[in-house]
Amino acid sequence: MSRYPDFAGKLQLAFTGGRIERESGRRHDADWCAALLADAASRTYALVGEQIVLRKTDVIADPLFGLAEAATFGAAQEQVLLGTTDGAGRFAIGLDCAGADELKRRGLLVVDLRSIAIQGLVQAAHLPALAEAKALLTWHARHRFCSVCGAPTHLAEGGWRRDCTACKAQHFPRTDPVVIMLVTDGDRCVLARQAHFSPTMWSCLAGFIEPGESIEEAARRETREEVGIACGRVRYFASQPWPFPMSLMIGCHVDALSTAITVDRSELEGARWFTRDEVVAMFDSRHPEGLTAPPPWAIAHHIIRTWVEDTGAGG
């Protein structure tokens, strides 16, 4: 039984558990994609830049629109196939940012995805699809020209490839892997904060995995660089798609081999050791300094909570 039973519960991460069938084996078929576009049952998500268009309802906002209605929102810069649900197409369209005010005048909401997740503005089942849509459309917006020869590229395979018009190079969507880790030493852990965090929040260390680097190597390097602590054993915890803009957070628990902290001020506003009881107080909103942990929709919350619950997680 957990030392802290209030934290018991099934692990639930925002942006995971998607119900869309991605149809990777069929999206190369132009006729099949065209049939989905012609199907009255197909629906689309609409994005204006990095914000999501929502329809107001009495209870919770609806992010899905019929294709005909979405066509009235303005010319789509890109339209991508996310997949199917019960055989019906699920698409995403990227609209010009200049149209946001007009959509608001029509009574629609235009909200950033982070706020949608934090405030629970849509059913949780929509979050994985919105993460897919945002990440994919962001990739398209950044790859309109060929990285080989500089010529324009065009969308192919329902939005899962871009082809160069000149050298014929093919470009595929990419996800940036990020390691996010809780460094522990017995009954205490390292938490840090960046300047853009909410004023009271402290969280895990994190950093991008570099080319030619394993998850374990990245976790140790980032910890050493950011707080000067040498680390040993690294244990994988879970992962979470993180569409800000198009990353995959790879959660780990890491054993500290040293304890002195030297903060890299170019990366962090601060870092320090916290006892397990302090972290419990942070989750309970009763820390004497008013400090708080990350919210439940972020993987950092669950990496930390698991360590709090399980004395074995920290080594």
Is 230 part of a structural domain of the chain? yes
CATH number at residue 295: 3.90.79.10
pLDDT at position 12 is 76
Is 161 part of a structural domain of the chain? no
Is 301 part of a structural domain of the chain? yes
Q: How many domains are there within the chain? A: 2
Query: What's the distance, CA 37 to chain centroid?
Result: 27
For residue 41, the enclosing domain spans 30-142
Q: What is the CA radius of gyration of the chain?
A: 22
Is 12 part of a structural domain of the chain? no
pLDDT band (50, 70, 90) for residue 252? very high
Least confident of 5-14, 24-33, 112-121, 255-264: 5-14
Q: Is the pLDDT of residue 185 over 50?
A: yes
Q: How far apart are CA 280 and CA 293, in angstroms?
A: 9
- Whether 185 and 279 share a structural domain: yes
Q: How far apart are CA 9 and CA 28, in angstroms?
A: 41
- Whether 105 and 223 share a structural domain: no
pTM reported for the whole predicted model: 0.92
**Cis-peptide, bond into residue 245, ω within 30° of zero:** yes
Mean pLDDT of the chain, nearest integer = 94
pLDDT at position 10 is 56
CA dihedral 197, 199, 205, 206 (to 10 degrees): 0
| Structural domain ending residue among the three candidates 100, 123, 142 | 142
- Whether 130 and 195 share a structural domain: no
Is 299 part of a structural domain of the chain? yes
Is 260 part of a structural domain of the chain? yes
Rounded to 5 degrees, what are φ and ψ at 71? -65, -20
Could you tell me how many residues make up the chain?
315
| Structural domain ending residue among the three candidates 142, 160, 187 | 142
Least confident of 94-103, 141-150, 197-206: 94-103
Mean pLDDT of 150-156: 97
CATH number at residue 37: 3.90.79
pLDDT band (50, 70, 90) for residue 8? very low
Helices (H), the chain: 30-38, 67-70, 100-105, 113-119, 127-141, 215-227, 276-283, 299-309
- Whether 265 and 199 share a structural domain: yes
Q: pLDDT over 70 for what percent of the chain?
A: 95
